[in-house]
A and B are shown apart, each in its own frame.
Chain A
Amino acid sequence: MTTTSPEEFAALELLHQKLEQAATAADLVDVAYRVIDSPLGKLLLAATPAGLVRVAFANENHDLVLEQLAAKLSPRVLRAPRQLDPAARELDEYFEGTRRAFDLPLDLSLSKGFRQLVQQHLPEIGYGQTRSYKEMAEMVGNPQAVRAVGTACATNPLPVVVPCHRVLRTDGSLGGYIGGLPAKTALLELEQSA
């Protein structure tokens, strides 16, 4: 195979933009995605027509996450940055400290049952506040399910936007975080200082 020339590369980028528009107009994009820069490194944002479906830190391996989305949702996955403009803007504002709550349609279809229930209730923990896994279990009406709450937080498909970083151990220690503990600390510090 010959290598791609700079001219072809530029032409393909333009053609890709046209494809994004045409595929969107034809309702063919089942999963649109883009990658944004953030203080926590590159974040992958993915959305279905129903709403934002996935936020992934770089340590999750974005290529792998896209493979999973193709398998679980639909292989019609396309890089279509404009469809994620609102999410990218709100995340920018959040990291600048000017946004305290997200106002985006969310698609929680990657989670089922109790996990999804917990994730639905996570945004009730206000900006800058924290809850223990135990309190969270009580909040969803199942005080025995502390471990299951931990799992629900650990498998949150929409970290940052669905604030699982606001759930800590009863003794105040961090517990775990999908983006790594430094990311969890950074988010909590951001919300304390803003």
Chain B
Amino acid sequence: MHSPFEAVVSQHGATVLRVCRSLLDTHDADDAWSETFLSAMRAYPKLPEASNVEAWLVTIARRKALDVHRAAKRNPLPIAELPDSPSELGVPGTSDAELWQHVARLPKKQRLSITLRYLAGMSYAEIAAVVGGTEAAARRSSADGLKKLRTHYQEATTKGASS
């Protein structure tokens, strides 16, 4: 039996938002979040009973983020990288926001692997299925990304899921 879709939104909304924000800037991340839950709601009644709902949502979110990237390529933005600006994510350092800004600057595979591992709690095998490549490669990307984070972000500790 499926839970009410509202329960899916309230249980996984925050994780999907973090996934979208680690892949896109704030405005595009909001759009990707909306697109993710809209198409999830459309498909939800046909989702097999035993599915890992969070992994399913993260897969959709990743696809929506890629769509936004592709659309952006067709309509190039005037700048490739956002300049430093006042934080839109509250006071830096009071939450994990600053850390996730560092994550957003990692190379794509490392960024995805870390996001899926530590936000979505996916196994390396599941991450490999989403990102492509082998389980070992996913594990390596995640480790490389973490190493880089530790250098760039002194306070980066292994909060959340254990590695």
Contacts and interface: CB of A to CB of B under 8 A. Distances in A.
Nearest to B31: A18
Given A5-B95, A19-B9, A28-B38, A70 B4 contact: yes
B38 A67 contact: no
Given A66-B4, A75-B2, A75-B4, A16 B41 contact: no
B83 interface: no
Q: How large is the interface on B (under 10, 10 to 19, 20 to 34, 35 or more residues)?
A: 20 to 34
A6 interface: yes
A1 B11 CA distance: 12
Interface stretch (B13-21, B69-77, B135-143): B13-21
A16 B13 contact: yes
A1 B37 contact: no
Nearest to B30: A15
B1 A77 contact: no
Interface string B1-34: 1111111010001110110000000000010011
Contact of B44 (A19, A33, A75): A75
Interface string B89-129: 11000111100000000000000000000010100000000
B4 A22 contact: no
B17 A15 contact: yes
A1 B15 contact: yes
**Which of A5, A11, A69, A74 counts the most chain B CB atoms within 10 A?**
A11
Given A5-B95, A12-B14, A77 B4 contact: yes
Contacts of B42: 26, 28
Nearest to A1: B160
A7 B94 CA distance: 11
B30 A78 contact: no
Nearest to B7: A66
A76 interface: yes
Nearest to A70: B4
B34 A70 contact: no
A100 B135 CA distance: 66
Contacts of A6: 90
Contacts of B119: 1-2
B3 A70 contact: yes
Nearest to A10: B90
Interface string A38-78: 00000000000000000000000000001101110011111
Nearest to B41: A28
A159 B33 CA distance: 37
B90 A7 contact: yes
B13 A15 contact: yes
Interface of A: 1-2, 4-8, 11-12, 15-16, 18-19, 22-23, 26, 28, 31, 33, 66-67, 69-71, 74-79
